[in-house]
Amino acid sequence: MKKATFKSFIIIISFLVGFYGRSIVDMFFNITKSIQSDLVRNAYGYAWWIIPTIGTLCILYGYKNIFRELRLNKKFGKGILWASIMVVPMFIGSFVLGNFNSEISSLSFIKSTFLAGFFEETFFRAFLFGQLFCRLKWGFIPAVLLNALAFASGHLYQGNTFSVTFGVFIVTFMGAAWFAWLFVEWKENIWLLVWLHIFMNMSWLLFDVSETALGGMSANLFRAITIALSIFITIRFSKKSGGLKINNHNLLINK
């Protein structure tokens, strides 16, 4: 128990360093704005996530187990296949409601889709939530609350009024909980989450549906259909593999 508590403390501190470290450093040295290259600026930003994550996992489990601890050894093809099926309603909705965004740059597109999907899911879900729930036996609810609070707070910059900011927080908070649930039910296949995140962002970005994660009523209808479809598929999938993994036995403590 003491060992799990110590490791939990290390994971959380490492996460906080990665999540808030750049902002704290920029308060004193303003390094991010001083970097002229967009490519280097993005690499510097993600380095704050990568270094604490890799360093911590290396110390706790050894460098040979980093890939496994981030669940990158799961089935890649299965992840991308089911993610592409789940996100079809959002692509249809974005195509119908939005206009093709021909002005977006290649770097901005890659950053907002592939990089955001991969790094956010490995950092928030595989590292923070995955370690706390799957490895250190936190309950689903406390692990999700910590994960979702951090994930949602990281998107608050998208709001310019209180109502929009609050809406973005609620949407991303619920999204984080949904992704964590999918992570567990799909046997910790991080690739499903990575590609679902990538495709959802892609449908939002390619057709210029909304500038924030909040979106409008029509766009959210199709997002809700995607979520409902993912839940339906997941429940059907779980029936063939022993039933749902999130239940009364692991809500507060993962027994």
Q: Using one digit for the tens of pLDDT, what is the confidence trace for 165-180?
A: 777 788 888 989 999 9
- The ranges assigned to domains in the chain are 1-69, 75-255
Phi-psi region of 191 (alpha: psi -120 to 50; beta: other; left: phi over 0): alpha
The radius of gyration of the chain's CA atoms, rounded to the nearest angstrom, is 18
Buried (b) or exposed (e) across 82-103, using 16+ Cβ within 10 A? Answer: bbeebbebbbebbeebbeeeee
Element housing 100 (H / E) = none
Show the low-confidence residues of the chain (pLDDT under 70).
1, 155-160, 209-217
Q: What is the pLDDT of residue 154?
A: 74
> Token pair of 93, please?
């909705």
